[in-house]
Structure 1
Amino acid sequence: MRSSLFLLILLAALAAVSCNKKNDKGGGSTSDKDKLLDSSLFYARELYLWYDQIPTTFNPRNYDDPNEVMEAIRPYSKETGFSSAVDRWSFAVTEEEWNDISQGIAGDFGLGVFFASNSDLRVSYVEKASPAGAATIKRGWRIKKINNMTSISTNYVDAIVDAIFYSSNGTFVFGRDNKADTTITLTATTYVEQPIILDTIYTTGNGKAGYLVYNSFLGDTTRTKQAFADIFTEWSQEGVTDAIIDLRYNGGGYVLLQDELANYLVNSSGNNQVMEKQVFNKKLTSWNETTNFRKKGSLNLSRLFVIVSQNTASASELLINSLRPFLNVQLVGPSNTHGKAVGYFGYPVEDWLIFPVSFRTLNKNNEGNYFDGFTPNAQVADGLDKNWGDVTENCLAAALRYINTGVYTQSVGTNGNRTGQTEIRELLPPNKELGKTRFKGAVAGIRQLP
């Protein structure tokens, strides 16, 4: 049914606008460009979840490319109960760019950074196959100098973003605990991201806790599925009774990988029950789809701990929402999650793919619309001064403490300082800017033209 409907949309589009010529991002004649822009809007009027809010006077030719058109329709996404438009995500990229993004191919230094305090910039993660990984840079190292920039503070976020994420070369001075500072020069190269950063098992007072740091639902799906199978087989063999899934920097990705992970984490009571519902606009009700759990592995959890932050988005939030009807899902982290309660497919328009938000997601209890994000059960600052797996890292320590004692402590700030809510709140805006380079989305796939 979906293919037939999509074909009808396609034929109507072809009749309305002759989209039969290729166009590159900056070239082509004016008429070719206009056709590309007109086509982008035409599809949006069919596919956008809030299509009926786009004004009839909206002129796509006021914009330079399909991505600008997608960004321009975002304000037309009002939802009951929310004072402003909720869409922050509709976008478009060339097919070539999407191929790199979806396969986890990057071309930067391969490290993330966040502020632990106003003047303390820390490495948040390192991609193993990246230049930073090859240089053995570690999470928790403090960045004291970038090129000639010695004033490393929240006042210079834009300059820091440019130097770390959009430069071909950079020289950094890193501070390391109990070691001398080290100077490292990095050159950006192409590498493949490895979304599983760490998996390990801890012995607790009540049994064993499995810990998985998962950084993205994008990448090689076959490889990731096999990694899940290996990890959860080991957890079952080792008698894991609690699970801690660290999604603090996971901005989402493929829904099919969310489904895979959810099937390992759900308990037996959820087997064959509703996992998620995709609900499209009124024009596309025949596209509405329900996915049920198909339990994998033998873990039979009663509760699940998820480490989150404002960078936890989309497919990561879908995982939380899908499991809540069946598990006691405990959230630990510095802030609410991102709040992306919707998803999209990619739709080809010439040599572009447009991603207008196309469906909302609901769980078994029809719960969704979490555009303000999920609130953590324990507000705990990101322990940026500690490496992955360090049991004294704030968020991991809080989850393990609850497993052992049944309670969380007070809110914990940077470097273990308690009652750090003011500090956490002050760091959200600059760290939001530093996290913008991460993909945030729940992608249900690419709809190829019939």
Structure 2
Amino acid sequence: MKFQFWLSLVAAVSMTACGGGGGSSGASTGGSSTGGTGSGSATAPVWTAGVYNSESQYKDYCANPRSGADPYNSNQPYPDKAGSAMHEKMWLRSWSNRTYLWYRELPDRDPASYTVAAYFAQLKTEQSTASSAAKDQFHFTQDTASYNQQTQSGVSSGYGIEWSVQSTTVPRWFQVAYTEPNSPASNAMVKRGDIILEIDGVDFINDPSQAGVNTLNAGLFPAASGERHQFKFRRTDGTEYSLTLTAANVASSPVQNVKVLNTSAGKLGYMQFNSFITPAQPQLISAVQQFRDQAVSNLVIDLRYNGGGLLALSSQLGYMLTGPNIIQNRYFEKMQFNDKYPNTNPVTGASLAATPFYSKQINYEQNTLTSTSLPNLNLSRIFVLATGNTCSASEALINGLRGVDAEVILIGDRTCGKPYGFYPEDNCGTTYFTIQFSGINAKGFGDYADGFVPTPAPQFDDQVKGCAVADDFSHALGDPAEALLASAVEYAQSGSCPVSASSSTDNPSLRSDSRSAVPALLSTPAVRNPNDRVLNQSIRSPIHEQEQP
């Protein structure tokens, strides 16, 4: 059995679990991809338009091969051999041509004039969705060692801040969405809603220079634990403060704020769930057991910042929310690959089979399904809090539940729109993420490339019954007065959206005067977006997918 991923965060994430080193194809303990670990020669290959040799001729031939043992692959030696950048690019070309979902839409450009990173960046479709958005917004890479550390242990280097990003160019606007417990940010009393004003003396909102952006990026994305940077913030009440944040290896707590609220509709459970990563499994089980013990009749899952992760974990959560009486042997999701592989998985070679609602615990380190049953709540209605950062495995949960006729009430904003997934693949120390499949639920629906939209009276399949409500940065997550949670409680009690529900996600009351001090300058350099699907180095890398064990 091999577990793979969809593309959120965390990331997500997103978010997210295993894979990478040792030539793996998304497995937590390594394993060879189709084509083996390289059967070519060290002589630099030559590109010929339209001719695609087997990727095995180029796999693991590296311009800078790693040496030693891979701690994330049972300390097996790295498979790298002396090669060239052209080997790495030609491997990317053949691998993409064989497995990319939209391989027919790939350009075939001579890789000689590109760096490896730049060549991979253009190996994606240039087509658009029905709303004119880019069809593939989820094409990215990550350092393999960092990826493995984040997905397998939930640890990443930084301050422990999840950002809400409204603009990366002048006037820039980054706001704290939440902080991880016991992180440098939470220990320094950085709060949800705080807005960045300066980093290391540079005006975060208005500085138009490349030199300024370089300083801002260095502060936002510290290169190593122990790095120190000076920040200036403004709180939602207008108070400004400065502090020095020291980067550290921060352990993610994917499940937070588990609580039960007493309402006129009965007991209502709430949990903030940030990423579908391996450490979340025991935390989700504990939360569900708490809800079951207190006999909740309604449940709110806060996925507003959950960028994705393991589809297997998403299916497990789907089972725990509902149970066998509601699922009735229907599947969670079915994968569809490109037309070269109508019946088999191009990465594993296995016959295609639908992903079930897993009813057992999974040993993600050994990639095995255990005999230990999961608890379930037998709920036929679930409230989901969502924003544009709700992606991938989070959307698969929504779609999978709807596929078995569980009612989903969506509160917040349109989700990110990613019904696609991939198998993270390591080559020469970089893990690559390229779209390889789409997913459909038990009713055959998976066309939500522009996201799920909350609406009181749905008319189309990508519209979900619910309320459009602006993200509320003036209250802590889990606070019953916070707008999204308060709207869910109101809906549970009255059966309809609150009158104050709003579709705007940009709260003017939180804007500082300096945000409008200069007009938007599209030509000014942008800071890196920590939530960007290409640049994301966080735990919420938007990845998820799962093969049936």
Using structure 2 for the length normalisation, give the TM-score: 0.69
Please tell me whether residue 280 in structure 1 is matched to residue 337 in structure 2.
yes
CA distance in structure 2 between the partners assigned to 1:202 and 1:341 by the alignment: 33
Change in 2 beyond 3 A, CA 1:37/1:232: same
**Matching residue's letter, 1:131:** P
Change in 2 beyond 3 A, CA 1:407/1:154: farther
CA distance in structure 1 between the partners assigned to 2:128 and 2:292 by the alignment: 45
SS of match in other structure, 2:304: coil
CA distance in structure 2 between the partners assigned to 1:336 and 1:155 by the alignment: 31
4+ residue segments displaced more than 6 Å: 1-5, 8-12, 28-31, 115-120, 153-157, 177-180, 429-432
**Matching residue's letter, 2:261:** Y
CA deviations over 1:234-273 (Å, ceiling 9, x no partner)? 1011011111111111111122221221111124221421
Change in 2 beyond 3 A, CA 1:149/1:197: farther
CA deviations over 1:101-122 (Å, ceiling 9, x no partner)? 3233221122133379989864
Change in 2 beyond 3 A, CA 1:212/1:130: same
Please tell me whether residue 355 in structure 1 is matched to residue 433 in structure 2.
yes
Q: Is the 8 A contact 1:209 1:240 kept in 2?
A: yes
CA deviations over 1:304-363 (Å, ceiling 9, x no partner)? 111111111111111111111321111111x31111110000223343332221110100
SS of match in other structure, 2:426: strand
SS of match in other structure, 1:442: coil
Quick check: which one's helix share is greater? Answer: 1
Q: Is the 8 A contact 2:146 2:156 kept in 1?
A: no
Change in 2 beyond 3 A, CA 1:292/1:162: same
**Matching residue's letter, 2:544:** V
Please tell me whether residue 253 in structure 1 is matched to residue 309 in structure 2.
yes
Change in 2 beyond 3 A, CA 1:62/1:147: same
Is the deviation greater in 81-90 or in 14-23?
Answer: 14-23
CA deviations over 1:179-221 (Å, ceiling 9, x no partner)? 9755321011222222123211111111111111111113xx2
Change in 2 beyond 3 A, CA 1:399/1:163: farther
Please tell me whether residue 6 in structure 1 is matched to residue 34 in structure 2.
yes
1:227: how far off? Answer: 1.3
SS of match in other structure, 1:234: helix
Change in 2 beyond 3 A, CA 1:410/1:106: same
CA deviations over 1:275-303 (Å, ceiling 9, x no partner)? 10011112223123301224542312121
Please tell me whether residue 324 in structure 1 is matched to residue 402 in structure 2.
yes
Q: Is the 8 A contact 2:38 2:61 kept in 1?
A: no
Q: Is the 8 A contact 2:418 2:449 kept in 1?
A: yes
CA deviations over 1:121-160 (Å, ceiling 9, x no partner)? 6421101242113324332345555443467479999689
SS of match in other structure, 1:274: coil
**Matching residue's letter, 1:21:** Y
**Matching residue's letter, 2:160:** G
User: What's 1:88 paired with?
Assistant: 137
- For these two proteins, the number of residue pairs brought into alignment is 431
List runs of 5+ in structure 1 lacking aligned partners. Answer: 414-418
**Matching residue's letter, 1:290:** A
CA distance in structure 2 between the partners assigned to 1:106 and 1:22 by the alignment: 26
Q: Is the 8 A contact 1:114 1:434 kept in 2?
A: no
Change in 2 beyond 3 A, CA 1:172/1:230: same
1:83: how far off? Answer: 4.7
Change in 2 beyond 3 A, CA 1:383/1:281: same
User: What's 1:207 paired with?
Assistant: 266
SS of match in other structure, 1:253: coil
SS of match in other structure, 1:231: helix
Q: 1:263 aligns with which of 298, 319, 322?
A: 319
Of structures 1 and 2, the one with the larger relative CO (CA 8 A, separation 6+) is: 2
1:410: how far off? Answer: 3.8
CA distance in structure 1 between the partners assigned to 2:144 and 2:172 by the alignment: 40
CA deviations over 1:367-418 (Å, ceiling 9, x no partner)? 01211001023111111111121111111111111111111124546xxxxx
User: What's 2:15 paired with?
Assistant: none
**1:51-450 equivalences in 2 (<5 Å):** 51-55=103-107, 57-65=108-116, 67-76=117-126, 81=130, 83=132, 85-103=134-152, 104-114=154-164, 122-143=175-196, 145-149=198-202, 152=205, 162=217, 164-167=219-222, 168-175=227-234, 182-218=241-277, 221=278, 223-267=279-323, 268-285=325-342, 286-287=344-345, 288-295=352-359, 296-325=374-403, 326-333=405-412, 335-376=413-454, 377-410=466-499, 412=501, 420=504, 433=529, 435-436=531-532, 437=536, 439-444=540-545
CA distance in structure 1 between the partners assigned to 2:184 and 2:388 by the alignment: 26
Is the deviation greater in 182-191 or in 153-162?
Answer: 153-162
User: What's 1:416 paired with?
Assistant: none
**1:42-57 equivalences in 2 (<5 Å):** 42-55=94-107, 57=108
Is the deviation greater in 100-109 or in 237-246?
Answer: 100-109
Identity of aligned residues (%): 27
List runs of 5+ in structure 2 lacking aligned partners. Answer: 3-30, 41-52, 67-79, 346-351, 360-373, 455-465, 512-519, 521-525
Change in 2 beyond 3 A, CA 1:195/1:84: closer
Is the deviation greater in 252-261 or in 287-296?
Answer: 287-296
CA distance in structure 2 between the partners assigned to 1:294 and 1:29 by the alignment: 39
User: What's 2:365 paired with?
Assistant: none
Q: Is the 8 A contact 1:108 1:189 kept in 2?
A: yes
SS of match in other structure, 1:228: helix
Please tell me whether residue 32 in structure 1 is matched to residue 84 in structure 2.
yes
Q: Is the 8 A contact 2:106 2:124 kept in 1?
A: no
Q: Is the 8 A contact 1:129 1:193 kept in 2?
A: no
Using structure 1 for the length normalisation, give the TM-score: 0.83
CA distance in structure 2 between the partners assigned to 1:421 and 1:112 by the alignment: 17
SS of match in other structure, 1:6: coil
1:82: how far off? Answer: 6.1
CA distance in structure 2 between the partners assigned to 1:169 and 1:241 by the alignment: 47
Q: Is the 8 A contact 2:35 2:55 kept in 1?
A: no
